[in-house]
Structure 1
């Protein structure tokens, strides 16, 4: 029961295959109370179905591009819980046209959208969460190797993940004096709703499986376990870091 008595928010559950849902299951199993956001009514239906067995789940409509909705989310959590112990940021998006061909062809608008949703949203969440988080608080964001290396067709999303990882470091420095830790998990390629928009994703996954030292796909349960560790008091001395959960693929030369 590593998370017993802890309350937190998971942002990014879309369906049962979501990395965010795999993480949520581990947090719930370890005693955490979890609130969930959803972007729109369609995804809200999925989240309601996934949480149907939970007692009085807190489900909140929130679009991360809306400062007003983000603020309202944390005001609600303050009224219901009084404080917040953790946040999981598992949100990323870029227009499909920007996830094929060359990064060179990225439009200004696609660049803006990718960075707003995939990177700035972490800072926006932290701004509104800071007043109700304190000593022992922890935030974990989901990243990918494409933020540090060139991955075919990942394009502007890779640049956004690089921005996300830099944001993790700066937010860790700002929130550390408050007693709040900020880290990231860089997972191997997992087939999710977001991943389906990346051209050639199947090939990316096969290459990972063939080259990773463990010779296997990364699965959401592995990411869930790592995130559980980073959010728990067992990782109380770790902040501003990116933990790779990719079967060792990131250590290889190609």
Structure 2
């Protein structure tokens, strides 16, 4: 078997539709030789149906990252599909959520409860997920890759999700610091906007189209999740053996240019 991920076992979260970056990361990972396990939350039948569109079968495990019982049992559930002695070589974190009042321009009026939910699901879960998978990774190392959206500036309507993404970026750096001794790398892919189900829940998302149309030096197609998915697969591979705590921008270059 050949490919960037030949012989590796990869866990991919956040596959809800085949338009998602996570779906295409799972697809490309399989094409590059990996065995893939998916997680889903709530609508498992939908995730299983979407999984059927991958090149090869992929089991689906239910995972609510706010449920400690789910997290505590995750390693065991993965072993059920990969074998008792199986190792996990990579984890893709593609999990984010903010209640409606945390998005859309009401930043100053958002309740703490909604902010707490956004931060727990979208940022703290990177730590929760990584620690749940640690028993399958700590003896041999591996790669954790999260999906990000540039948190260095304030975006229209993005509000507390932008704050949560800033927390995600900081969480990734601290995980890189604390897990490096176990050979575990933690990096993020800061993707440009893609028309996914999650994106459609952001009020005013269409404004990002004009920003990327006007400013991306390489151009940007909001309907194409594959460039970001390729970045994820590259970071999962052995081609970045000493890269950790990094944010790789796959956004057509928008982050690098001014207005």
**Fold conserved between structures, TM > 0.5:** yes
- The equivalent of 1:4 in structure 2 is 6
**Contact 1:210/1:216 (<8 A) preserved:** no
Of residues 205, 227, 231, the one that matches 2:232 is: 227
1:130-169 to 2 correspondence within 5 Å? 130-134=134-138, 135-145=140-150, 147-169=151-173
Query: Are 1:182 and 1:239, in contact at CA under 8 Å, matched by a contact in 2?
Result: yes
- RMSD in angstroms over aligned alpha carbons? 1.4
Contact 1:64 1:70 in 2 (8 A): yes
Higher helix share: 1
**How far apart, in 2, do the equivalents of 1:202 and 1:225 lie?**
24
Match of 2:74 in 1: 73
Name the SS for the 1:234 alignment partner. coil
Question: Per-residue deviation at 1:117?
Answer: 0.4
Contact 1:217 1:247 in 2 (8 A): no
Q: Which runs of no fewer than 5 residues in structure 2 stay unpaired? A: none
Distance 2:219 2:78 in 1: 42
Q: What TM-score do the two structures reach when normalised by structure 2?
A: 0.93
2:51 alignment counterpart:
51
**1:196, 1:52 → 2: CA distance?**
24
Q: Deviation of residue 178 (structure 1)?
A: 0.3
Structure 2 matches for 1:22-33, cutoff 5 A?
22-33=24-35
- TM-score by length of structure 1 reads 0.94
Of 220, 245, 249, the match for 1:240: 245
Q: What's the CA shift for 1:96?
A: 1.6
Distance 1:141 1:38 in 2: 16
Q: Which segments of 5 or more consecutive residues in structure 1 lack a partner in the other structure?
A: none
CA deviation after TM superposition for structure 1 residue 228, in Å: 0.8
4+ aligned runs moved over 3 Å, structure 1: 53-56
Q: Deviations over 1:63-94 (max 9, x none)?
A: 11111112212221134432211000001110
Three-state SS of the structure 1 residue aligned to 2:206 is helix
Matches within 5 A, 1:64-103: 64-81=65-82, 82-103=86-107
Asked whether the 8 Å contact 2:189–2:232 carries over to 1, the reply is yes
1:127 aligns with one of 106, 128, 131: 131
Which 10-residue stretch deviates more, 203-212 or 121-130?
Answer: 203-212
Residue-pair matches, total: 251
2:214 equivalent to 1:210: yes
What secondary structure does 1:87 align onto? strand
| Equivalent pair of 1:77/1:83 in contact (CA under 8 Å) | no
The structural deviation recorded for 1:24 is: 0.8
**2:40 counterpart residue number:** 38
Mapped partners of 2:52, 2:202: distance in 1: 31
Q: Secondary structure in 1 aligned to 2:36?
A: strand
TM-aligned CA deviation for residue 106 of structure 1:
1.6
